[in-house]
Amino acid sequence: MMKTRMSEEEVLIPDDRAFSRFKHECESEEDWSVTYNKSSICVWIQVLEEEKSLHRIKCRMLCKDIPAETMYDVLHDIEYRRKWDANVIETFDIGKLTVNADVGYYSWKCPKPLKNRDVITLRSWLPMGNDYIIMNHSVKHTKYPPKKDLVRAISIQTGYLIQRTGPTSCTLTYLAQVDPRGSLPKWVVNKSSQFLAPKAMKRISKACLRYPEWKQKHSPGFKPWLFPEQNPLSSIPLSELSIQHAESLENIDESSLSESKDERAEHSDDEGNN
């Protein structure tokens, strides 16, 4: 895959080295602090700039009864995501760049009383032997400016590493560095790493177990992430994209907000169910 240069700024489609670097980051444990370690899920956090709420989070889940191929399908299937992802507000594809890169929109619910967020990302994916990688970073598209009721966040580097450990087992690692565009209260970072991230991993696991049956009833042969010729998206030129600079987006201060009672109650209910 080639790097493509624009007249103003450079938007890069990740090359093989970028995928290898991402895999290394997923596997490295140096400078990471464990915040959660129960049963088959482990979560680490790396604080980058405390005053700006900038941090990286990494989750790893051992899946004894989920084939790597099923995990890869579930994380790609946008129709199925609308069914199992409880945090999604809206998600859709904007256009394709190459056989293994596209641009998409995703908005999600944040813990109350924070404002909800959205992102425009360049996504790319690559099977590597026994591994699969899906990763994304934010880009700017003139047809999809920030919305009034949402805060446009920035994905600096986010993605999944799926590693086959057997015919019907795999390990999933999720790595995210997102600039939320705002000063978040400490409880949000703590809740994300100790509660929301493990909960999200469990939700993915359950979605994988239900996927084969669901897919049988919903275009079973349609998997454009495996068969690029099936991709219905129109191609968009890289010239329509530019790098999303943090400085050009609204930066809000939510650091003094307290967690809502509804959120705390949901947290304690879920903890009791684990």
Task: Specify whether the CB–CB gap between 19 and 128 falls below 8 A.
Answer: yes
Q: Which CATH superfamily is domain 16-243 in?
A: START domain (3.30.530.20)
pLDDT digits (tens, 9 = 90+) for 134-189: 999 999 999 999 999 998 988 999 999 999 999 999 999 999 998 877 666 666 66
CB crowding 43-58: b at 16 or more within 10 Å, else e: bbbeeeeeeebbbbbb
Q: Looking at the predicted structure, is the pLDDT value of residue 190 above 80?
A: no
> What pLDDT is attached to residue 178?
82
Band of residue 66 on the pLDDT scale cut at 50, 70, 90: very high
Dump pLDDT digits (tens) for 76-99.
Answer: 999 999 999 988 999 999 999 999
| pLDDT value at residue 272 | 46
The pLDDT of residue 244 is 84
Segment 195-204 shows an average pLDDT of 91
Radius of gyration of the chain (CA): 18
| Token digits of residue 41 | 């899920």
Domain spans of the chain, in order of start? 16-243
pLDDT at 262: 56
C-beta atoms surrounding 252 within 10 Å = 14
Q: Is 11:122 a contact under the CB 8 Å cutoff? A: yes
User: In percent, how much of the chain has pLDDT > 90?
Assistant: 65
What's the pTM value of the predicted model, to 2 decimals? 0.86
Which DSSP helix (H) or strand (E) runs through 190? helix 186-191
58, β-bridge pairs: 44, 175
Degrees (nearest 5) of the Cα angle 71, 39, 47?
80
Helix (H, G, I), strand (E, B) or coil at 128: strand
Count CB neighbours of 219 within 10 A.
11
